[in-house]
Chain A
């Protein structure tokens, strides 16, 4: 199946999740074709298989959970293979959905007829619930090396709930999350759409928090390639970056919601329910069965504020969490390798001269902005909005080592 590279042809692996939208729409709306590219999309059912296809040349690029790109580069779980990320496919878009009775017990807002919980308040209530029942809870995430896992753990630990001690965290494949909740295999799930909505529609769970509440601008899926492939096919990769930016512009235009939801729902893509998909991609969520649909702006974040720019600081934050939860110690060589996975230089050279805003820096202090701030760019000007972590602690990549040391003290 692995064949010699044909210039202008790219095969991209993906999982059926709404944030696979940009490659799908780049193909369907002809943005790739306009850049002289022909895209072939290969759908799989597990991250392990998406990764295998990438590593053994069945695909040239892949839609993948960001931490997995770093884990693969560092050789966690299998021999190291350097991956490169020239483009972030999106920020956030995940939710924490709990068994209805647990949701009511730990979400004061829900009990009073309101909507989403406040992360700190839910965390405190969860801690009290655990102390009271004396029984550990089990949370399902989609992969050990996923942003879901890291955001969930960050939130729990900040609230004084110890992952792996007070709460067990296990892996559940996204299509089976609703089942796992329904059959009591897990008490809560942290997963992307449309799988939270599927659980809610079935009455198996209620949405309590969104990962956008934990880190307002948290990195989620990325476009990853093997480093040598990216170097060999630099021209095609840059054309793809431009096509994906165009797809993003189309995706966030409310006028295109119906058409895009219908495309994503097709059997060869998500093979899902267009109504649920439309809801998710318009930042709308039904929190509980029979409730009202809530609009939460920037639940998914695919385009504005140069959202696709691969900030090196984001890769470094992911590394800090890998050290924390894999029980590693800080290693400056590994930190450097992890940082190099994100390639802002490729993103920049792809978009130079297109008028698209281009950050001048490659790294920033993550979670430092509490209000909209105008930032001048190498190209254009953008206003960055609140990007904070729920506990108000910023991540300064210059202080990576002491940030990691600070986490261990908890």
Chain B
């Protein structure tokens, strides 16, 4: 079976490709370029097309499927009315799928399920990355606030940290928020 993954995010496409690589008898093609997309799909002649919901070329591809005589085999959006739940899960995950006419749902579903899992895994990966980045930024701001307290009030480093922590506890806030306020106040007072 020939599967085309259409995704402008090369890293997500790679994650999905890797997930589908385990399938037997499947040849996988990744298309990340918008330009020439329709011609490329024509060359690939896929049995299944997986496309992310955020892709601006979806309408263009659907139009191509609707009118294409080049393909010879009509392709349509995969909507299995007997299995609303799995289609809803794929929309939730952010993936749409198009399949060639006549392909049995039981052959499509395992592929779609895998793709959905991979889309979800990628979304989690991105969320983790964003959180890690946020934590790093927080650590930086806490370090800055400590330095300000050490310089302006002659505290030792542990003392400066204890002061930030005490204030946060008293005000029911996070240490990072208090540190942020210290840094902002310092900047307002003309500090660097």
Q: Give the total of B residues in contact with A, Cβ under 8 Å.
A: 24
- Tell whether, in the assembled complex, residue A46 and residue B59 are in contact, meaning their CB atoms are under 8 Å apart: yes
Partner of B59, one of A53, A79, A171, A183: A171
**Interface membership of A56, Cβ < 8 A:** yes
Alpha-carbon separation in the docked complex, A78 to B87 (Å): 13
Nearest residue, chain A, Cβ from B84: A56
**Interface window among B88-96, B125-133, B170-178:** B88-96
Nearest residue, chain A, Cβ from B80: A79
**Interface membership of B34, Cβ < 8 A:** yes
Alpha-carbon separation in the docked complex, A172 to B58 (Å): 10
Q: Known contacts A1-B92, A2-B88, A56-B88: does B57 contact A46 (CB below 8 Å)?
A: yes
Partner of B91, one of A46, A53, A77, A143: A53
Contacts of A53 in B (CB 8 A): 91
**Interface membership of A296, Cβ < 8 A:** no
Q: Known contacts A45-B54, A56-B87: does B60 contact A78 (CB below 8 Å)?
A: no
- Tell whether, in the assembled complex, residue B76 and residue A78 are in contact, meaning their CB atoms are under 8 Å apart: yes
Give residues 160-183 of A contacting B (CB, 8 Å).
Answer: 170-173, 175-176, 183
Give residues 142-156 of B contacting A (CB, 8 Å).
Answer: none
- Tell whether, in the assembled complex, residue A170 and residue B53 are in contact, meaning their CB atoms are under 8 Å apart: no
- Tell whether, in the assembled complex, residue B53 and residue A78 are in contact, meaning their CB atoms are under 8 Å apart: no
Q: Known contacts A44-B53, A144-B66: does B77 contact A171 (CB below 8 Å)?
A: no
B41-84 near A? 1/0 per residue, CB < 8 Å: 00000000000011111111011101100000000110101000
Contacts of A57 in B (CB 8 A): 88
- Tell whether, in the assembled complex, residue B56 and residue A45 are in contact, meaning their CB atoms are under 8 Å apart: yes
- Least CB distance, B170 to chain A, in whole angstroms: 34
Q: Known contacts A2-B88, A78-B79: does B58 contact A46 (CB below 8 Å)?
A: yes
Nearest residue, chain B, Cβ from A143: B59
Alpha-carbon separation in the docked complex, A142 to B62 (Å): 12
**Interface membership of A301, Cβ < 8 A:** no
A165-209 near B? 1/0 per residue, CB < 8 Å: 000001111011000000100000000000000000000000000
Number of inter-chain CB pairs below 8 Å: 66
Contacts of A142 in B (CB 8 A): 59
Interface centre among A46, A170, A183 (most CB of B within 10 A): A46
B7-50 near A? 1/0 per residue, CB < 8 Å: 00000000000000000000000000011000000000000000
- Tell whether, in the assembled complex, residue B88 and residue A77 are in contact, meaning their CB atoms are under 8 Å apart: no
Partner of B56, one of A144, A170, A176, A183: A176
Alpha-carbon separation in the docked complex, A45 to B34 (Å): 14
Alpha-carbon separation in the docked complex, A214 to B81 (Å): 40
Contacts of B96 in A (CB 8 A): 48-49, 52
Alpha-carbon separation in the docked complex, A49 to B79 (Å): 14
Contacts of B88 in A (CB 8 A): 2, 56-57
Contacts of A1 in B (CB 8 A): 92
Contacts of B57 in A (CB 8 A): 46, 173
- Tell whether, in the assembled complex, residue A173 and residue B81 are in contact, meaning their CB atoms are under 8 Å apart: no
Given contacts A46-B57, A49-B54, 14 further A-B contacts (CB under 8 A): A1-B92, A44-B53, A48-B59, A52-B53, A52-B96, A58-B91, A78-B77, A79-B79, A143-B63, A144-B63, A171-B59, A171-B60, A171-B63, A175-B56
